[in-house]
Structure 1
Amino acid sequence: MEHSEGARPAEAIQDRRPPRWFIDRVANPVVRRLAPSRLGRRLPVAVLTFTGRRSGRRFDVPVAVHQVDDQRVVFAAGAWRVNFRGGADAQLLAEGRSTPVHVTLLEDPADVGAVFRAAFDTGITPEKIALRIPSGSQPTDEELAAHRRILVLR
């Protein structure tokens, strides 16, 4: 794999998400309960509700929604994100309100990299999206896409 000038290997980017057991048993249940509450209106918590493409099962996935330029995006690492290939409708529960959204999964490394760079330019740090990128590192689009995909909410 080629690296851009000054880039470090993909291994230099570290996934900083909490352990899976903590997400499944602690964090997600707390966010699901907080999102519709008065407190949830004041916290940056959201729940994306959608139907699985193959299973037909309903999913309520806690997400962090970020404003990047003129669009709302979610930096997604979970396997559930593939339900949005080609776009799909969902409900977003945020700030105490549920609103319909159309969600599209960006997978092309150039598109993913462009959103990452725009996010970093607007002040979203790698830590806010559970990544560690060493200081001075210039990850390539492919390296960024290897760690996260982007969901665009419209």
Structure 2
Amino acid sequence: MEWHQPPAALVRTMNVVLRGVLPSPLGRGVGEFMLLAFTGRRTGQRYRVPVTAHRVAGDLCALTPAGWRLNFRGGADVDVTLAGRTTPMRGVLVEDRAEVARIYLDRMTELGMRRAARMIGLKFPLGRLPALDEVAELARREHFGVVRLSVRT
């Protein structure tokens, strides 16, 4: 299994399109993606990041190796736009590496290789789902992270 990201130009273009579509009425038809709007911990800069929406044990989560995930260390407020609706939520970065690996493997198993490749950004050159130790190694090497989202109270 390998981490695979589309070309940077395609990612930039898709991000621009999704930032416009997700909060609009058209966003109701794009339930696979969500828009996270949050403030950077150190910079105070406002971010709007489109990501794939994942359900993990009933929780809404973002699975990503991107550096912005660190803004959720210890928890941070985030406005989540999903299916055209914005909800104030709290995001918390999952810090336990073993838990991160289990979450990724569970999602791969639920999605199957084809959908996991598209929704998580993975390649399966061996033609099979990986074992937990293989996922843990890739998660460590590629800095995989999970941001768990819950409704703000």
TM range (shorter): 0.7 to 0.9
Partner of 2:41: helix, strand, or coil? coil
The alpha-carbon deviation at position 47 of structure 1 amounts to 0.7
SS in 1 for 2:23: coil
Do the aligned residues in 2 keep the contact of 1:109 with 1:142 (CA within 8 Å)?
A: no
- Between the two proteins, the alignment pairs up a number of residues equal to 141
Residues 1:143 and 2:138 are matched in the alignment: yes
Moved more, 120-129 or 31-40: 120-129
SS of 1:81's equivalent in the other structure is helix
Q: Could you state the TM-score of these two structures normalised by the residue count of structure 2? A: 0.83
TM-score, scaled to structure 1: 0.83
Runs of 4+ residues deviating >6 angstroms: none
Does the CA contact (< 8 Å) of 1:88 and 1:102 recur in 2? yes
5+ residue gaps, structure 2: none
Is the CA contact 2:105–2:135 (under 8 Å) kept in the aligned structure 1? no
Identity of aligned pairs, percent?
32
| Aligned mates of 1:104, 1:71 — CA distance in 2 | 12
**How many Å apart are 1:142 and its aligned residue?**
3.1
Taking a change above 3 Å as real, the CA distance of residues 115 and 37 of structure 1, as seen in their structure-2 partners, is: same
Q: 1:129 aligns with which of 109, 120, 123?
A: 120
RMSD, aligned CA: 1.7
Contiguous gaps of at least 5 residues in structure 1: 1-12
